Structure 1
Amino acid sequence: MRLATSFVASVCVCALSSGQLMAQRGPAAVAVAEIIKRETASGQMFVGTVLPIKRSVIGSAVGGRVAEFPVNEGDFVRAKQPLAQLLTNTINLELDAEKAELALRKHELAELENGSRPDEIKRAKALMQAAKADSEYQQKRRKRLESLYARKAVNEDDIQQVVSESIRSEELYQEALAAYALTVEGPRKEKIAQAKSQVAIQQAIVDKLESQIVKHTIKSPFDGYVVAEHTEVGQWVNSGELVAEVIALDEVDVEVQVLENHVPHVKLGMEVRVEVPAIPDQVFTGTVALIVPQADVRARTFPVKVRIKNTITKDGPLLKSGMLARAVLPTGPKQNALLVSKDALVLGGPTPMIYVVDPSPDKKNQGKARAVPVQVGVANGRLIQVKGNLKPGEHVVIRGNERLRPGQDVAITEILSPDALPKAKAINIDG
Structure 2
Amino acid sequence: MSSSHVIKLALTALLLLAGDRMAHAQKRPPARVVVQKVVAKEMAAGQSFVATVLPIKRAIVGSAVDGRVVKILARDGQRVTKMQPLVQLLTETIELKLVAAEAELELRRQELLELENGTRKQDIAQAQAKMLGAKANMAYTTTRRNRLQNLRDARAATQELIEEAEAAATHAEQDYYEFKSAYELAVEGPRPEKIAQARAKAAIQQASVDELKLRIKKHTMISRFDGYVIGKKTEEGAWVSSGDPVMELVALDYVEVQAFVTENHAAFVKPDMTVRVEIPALPDRLFTGFVSAIIPQADARARTVPIRVRVKNEISEAGPLLKWGMYARVELPTGPLQKAVMVPKDALVLGGPKPLVYIVAVGKDQSGTVKAVPVELGVATPNLIQVKGPIQVGESVVVEGNERLRPGQNVVIVNNIPPTAAAKN
CA separation of 1:9 and 1:124: change in aligned 2, threshold 3 A:
farther
In structure 2, how many angstroms separate the alpha carbons of the residues matched to 1:279 and 1:209?
51
SS in structure 2 at match of 1:334 = strand
Q: CA deviation at 1:27?
A: 4.8
Task: Give 1:31 shift.
Answer: 4.0
> What is the TM-score with the length of structure 1 in the denominator?
0.86
Contact 1:341 1:419 in 2 (8 A): no
Q: Residues of 1 paired with 2:340 and 2:235: CA distance?
A: 58
Give the 5 Å matches for 1:83-232: 83-232=86-235
2:7 alignment partner in structure 1: none
Structure 1 portions without partners, runs of 5+: 1-7, 423-431
Cα distance in 2 for partners of 1:378, 1:143 equals 120
Paired letter, 1:379: A
Is the 1:383–1:419 Cα contact (8 Å) retained in structure 2? Answer: no
Q: Matches of 1:40 and 1:13 in 2, distance apart?
A: 43
Aligned residues: 413
Query: 8 Å contact 1:12–1:406 — kept in the other structure?
Result: no
2:354 alignment partner, SS class: coil
The CA distance in 1 between the partners of 2:317 and 2:406, in whole Å, is 32
2:384 alignment counterpart: 383
Q: 1:299 aligns with which of 294, 297, 302?
A: 302
The C-alpha deviation readout for 1:324-351, integer Å capped at 9, x for no partner, is: 1111000111233333332332211122
Instruction: Note if contact 2:25-2:408 (Cα within 8 Å) is conserved in structure 1.
Output: no
Query: What residue is the counterpart of 2:5 in the other structure?
Result: none
Could you tell me whether the CA contact under 8 Å between 2:344 and 2:422 is conserved in 1? no
Distance in 2 between residues matched to 1:9 and 1:223, nearest whole Å: 60
Shift of the alpha carbon at 1:413?
5.3
Please show how residues 198-277 of structure 1 align to structure 2 within 5 Å. 198-277=201-280
- Where 2:196 maps in the other structure, the secondary structure is helix
Q: Distance in 2 between matches of 1:254 and 1:13?
A: 47
Alignment-derived partner of residue 332 in structure 2: 329
Superposition deviation, residue 45 in structure 1: 0.6
Counterpart-to-counterpart distance in 1, 2:324 and 2:33: 38
- CA pair 9-193 structure 1, distance change in 2 beyond 3 A: farther
Q: Secondary structure at the match of 1:62?
A: coil
The answer for the alignment partner of 1:20 in structure 2 is 23
Query: Shift of the alpha carbon at 1:166?
Result: 2.3
SS of the residue corresponding to residue 201 of structure 1 reads: helix
Aligned-residue RMSD, C-alpha: 2.9
Which digits, 9 at most, give the CA deviation of each residue in 1:177-229, with x for residues without a partner? 22222222222121111111111111111122122222222222222211121
1:357 Cα offset (Å): 4.2
Within 2, Cα distance between the matches of 1:65 and 1:310?
A: 37
Greater Cα offset, 249-258 or 129-138: 129-138
Shift of 1:251: 1.6
Q: Provide the secondary structure at the position in 2 that maps to 1:257.
A: strand
Task: Give the counterpart of 2:320 among 302, 317, 322.
Answer: 317
- Shift in Å at residue 249 of structure 1? 1.8
Q: CA deviation at 1:359?
A: 8.5
Cα deviation 1:147-188 (Å, max 9, x = unaligned): 333344444344333322322222222222222222222221
List runs of 5+ in structure 2 lacking aligned partners.
1-10
Q: 1:100-127, CA deviations, whole angstroms, 9 ceiling, x for partnerless residues?
A: 1111111111222222222222222222
> Are residues 419 and 254 of structure 1, via their aligned partners in 2, closer, same or farther at CA, if it must alter by over 3 Å?
farther
Deviates further, 246-255 or 9-18: 9-18
1:68 to partner: Cα distance: 1.4
Q: Find the partner of 2:346 among 333, 343, 349.
A: 343
CA contact (8 A) 1:15 1:405 kept: no
Pick from 61, 66, 76 the counterpart of residue 63 of structure 1: 66
Paired residue type of 1:377: G
Contact kept, 8 Å, 1:356 with 1:372, in 2: the verdict is yes
Deviation readout 1:126-159 (Å, 9 max, x if unpaired) = 2222222222222222222223333444443443
Q: TM-score scaled to structure 2, two decimals?
A: 0.87
Does the CA contact (< 8 Å) of 2:28 and 2:410 recur in 1?
no
The alignment-based identity, stated in percent, is 51
User: Could you tell me how far apart the structure 2 residues matched to 1:38 and 1:140 are?
Assistant: 119
One-letter identity of the residue aligned with 2:250: I
Q: Which residue of 2 aligns with 1:371?
A: 372
CA contact (8 A) 1:15 1:406 kept: no
